[in-house]
Amino acid sequence: MLETAQTLVLGGTGKSGRRLVHRLRAVNRSVRVGSTSGTPPFDWTDPETWAAALDGINAVFVVYSPDVAMPGAPEVIGAFAEQAVAAGARRLVMLSGQRAEFGLDSERRLQESGAEWTILRVAWFDQNFDEGFLLDDVRAGQVALPVGSVGEAFIDADDIAEVAATVLTEPRHSGAIYELTGPRLLTFTDAVAEISAATGRDIRFVEVPPDTYAATLTAQGMPAAEVEQSVYLRTKLMDGRNARLEHGVQKILGRGPRDFADYARAAAATGVWAPN
């Protein structure tokens, strides 16, 4: 284990990032949180912030926002990876999406940087329901998305963080691509039903047309560019292509991933889904 190495965790205040920061610090790894509110700040849209964030860094957990599959992502990720290697970072671990064909160019640009790399392709986060953009919908009793009856292998952010901490601190994972999913496929109707059962409330999922979804986001004050991104991520990338189970968690951690029902019960117990 490289105990004295300093690691930059991009998205270090996000769902997987903050959990990773906690795990790395628990094993005495020196960590720098990469975010717009960090010290120094890091901003994907402002390359002028990259050098200070990379100063003295040995390894980087690369989380690109809004998504590695977005247009323009490969160029930004490639430029960052090259700068990271030039600054002395020799280990890059990237969080990618389960839909490999959309994030492939971003992954390739990282792989071509000259670093020791590992790719983690992850399914949809459980925590999108209690820490992400669906929280208010769950509290209101109805989750509405332009997503049909397709299976998703929802995965817990704690599992992702534990895998990331392992591959960052063990050299044997260099050059590997791991697919990380939960233990079973659920439709969004299934997932929301699990939350409903865990809370004892009537919470339902409703499929809505993409234009209706876009209109709702616009009415909520979301900028047009973000509306376009959100619709793209909820439609083109969630069409059933991810309806498969993989075994990356078992391969790395030697145990199965956490089930969505266990996540829902634990989250419900905190009171996070109580109606406003």
pLDDT at 236: 72
- Say how far apart CA 185 and CA 172 lie, in whole Å: 30
For residue 225, CA distances in Å to 40, 131, 149, 186, 230 come to 27, 22, 27, 30, 9
In sequence order, which residues have a C-beta less than 8 Å from that of residue 154 and are 6 or more positions away? 123, 124, 125, 126, 182, 186, 191, 260, 263
Q: Which CATH number fits domain 6-125+156-181+244-258: 3.10.450.50, 3.40.50.150, 3.40.50.720, 1.20.1740.10?
A: 3.40.50.720
Average pLDDT of the chain to the nearest whole number: 93
Q: Are 180 and 105 in contact (CB under 8 A)?
A: no
Residue stretches of the chain with pLDDT short of 70: 1-5, 99-102, 237
pLDDT at 92: 97
Task: With H, G, I as helix, E, B as strand and everything else as coil, classify residue 26.
Answer: helix
Kindly tell me the sign of the dihedral angle through the C-alpha atoms of 236, 195, 143, 159.
negative
pLDDT digits (tens, 9 = 90+) for 7-66: 999 999 999 999 999 999 999 999 999 999 999 999 999 999 999 999 999 999 999 988
